[in-house]
Amino acid sequence: MNLADLCRSLPANPRVVVSGNHAVPFHTLKLVDAALDDYRLWVLNAPAGVPDREGVTYETPFVGVGMRGSARLSYVPCRLSLVPSLFGTTMPPDLVVLNTTRPRDGKVSLGVEVNVLPAAIEAARRGGGKVVAQVNDHVPWTFGDAELDADQVDLFLEADEPLPTAPATVVDDVAARIGALVAHRVADGATLQAGIGAVPDATLYGLADRRGLKIWTEMFSDSVLALERAGALDPRTPVQASFLFGSDELLAWVDNNPRVRMIRTETSNDPALIARNPAMVSVNTALQVDLFGQANASRVRRRIHSGFGGQTDFIVGALHSPGGQALIALRSWHPRADVSTIVPLVDEPVTSFQMTAVVTEQGVAEVFGLDQRRQAANIIEHAAHPSVRQELRDQAAELGLGPER
């Protein structure tokens, strides 16, 4: 079976789940796009360059630059730890497209991007969907949940595409000051979670003189490699993460390296598992923090900018870890917007929790696993008092939550 025949076997308007972040198999995705008139493109943190045309509906719980601001975006609010459950409920995949190594000993490796892909593959296999792998010699071989039995793949296509790499992070004086203040709170033997950017990098680079540190994180970059080379990491504990992004040097270090264990999202972002790590220190950022201690980390001018991601998972897990800390590290002044990031009350939805449903005497409004428009419609029609429903519909439209045009 070739790719064109495989695509013809899919149902109408299929859901196509693709390796995201910094592992998009662009060559194969372009072929899929050419073979399908209409489809739903599901990508976590989609970069620039994903197909953008009428007939392609974007679906994601975490919006990347490739989908941000699109009128065809269907954003699904969801903690990253719970995203895998969507594939078995409201968002079953019809096709999963991967970026992998060559097969060896009956397996391939997902390389730099494990994340929610194992769950997507399993759901596709259960539901009669298909799995396609772009065999790419630039993908490093990583272990753990990155390893996939080759017989789980229906079709292999060869296409060597270099993976994107991260430019060197510029740590200015403000980022260095924040990083130093965070690093001062981290003791020997702590377990670390931090993202990518100047402040997380400044924090981790500032820990080079610590010993026995452990890494349990959603993602990591070159600052973790710097800690390894400084002797700061516990040699008995592997670096555990769900995806990674960094320099060519980092990609070479992780290739065939048993020190690095890639784990699926259900493991990396499970708050109960995070809490088992000793002195878990979670370092995340936000767009705004208010005087009630609430944070907005996902919306700008009432429009979705990113999403929950793993922040809520790690905050909860770190707070329940013995000696754990959940830190929001951000600049006090936003240089581009020229405004304070500390505000009396956040004027965007708080990046915190989400519920399964809203229940009032009017009925039950299902929320979990639905995109933001359907969430709003359900809350208005099934939970709100009839006397305010039209007002709420009008306000929903002003917030970009009205029916799709």
What positions carry a catalytic annotation? 218
Question: Which residues does 262 contact at the CB level (< 8 Å), separation at least 6?
Answer: 110, 114, 142, 143, 144, 145, 146, 240, 241, 242, 243, 244
CB-side neighbour CA atoms (13 Å) of 7: 18
Other beta carbons less than 10 A from residue 88's beta carbon: 16
Yes or no: say if 263 and 114 are a contact pair by the CB < 8 Å rule.
Answer: yes
Q: What's CA 82's distance to the chain center, in Å?
A: 11
Which residue from 80, 257, 146, 48 is spatially nearest to 133, judged by alpha carbons? 146
φ/ψ (deg, to 5) at 228? -60, -45
How far is it, in rounded angstroms, from Cα 275 to Cα 280? 7
Q: Is 49 helix (H, G, I), strand (E, B) or coil?
A: coil
The per-residue DSSP string of 357-374 comes to EEEETTEEEE-TTS-HHH
Which residue from 56, 8, 9 is spatially nearest to 35, judged by alpha carbons? 8
Which residue from 145, 152, 138, 200 is spatially nearest to 175, judged by alpha carbons? 200
DSSP element (H, E) containing 159: none
Please report, as a single letter, which amino acid is at residue 106: G
Structure tokens given for 29: 């995705």
Yes or no: say if 32 and 16 are a contact pair by the CB < 8 Å rule.
Answer: yes
Yes or no: say if 352 and 77 are a contact pair by the CB < 8 Å rule.
Answer: no
User: The sheet that has 143-144: what strands, in order across it?
Assistant: 143-144, 260-262, 239-241
Q: Give one word for 320, left, alpha or beta, with left for phi > 0 and alpha for psi -120 to 50.
A: alpha
DSSP element (H, E) containing 250: helix 248-254
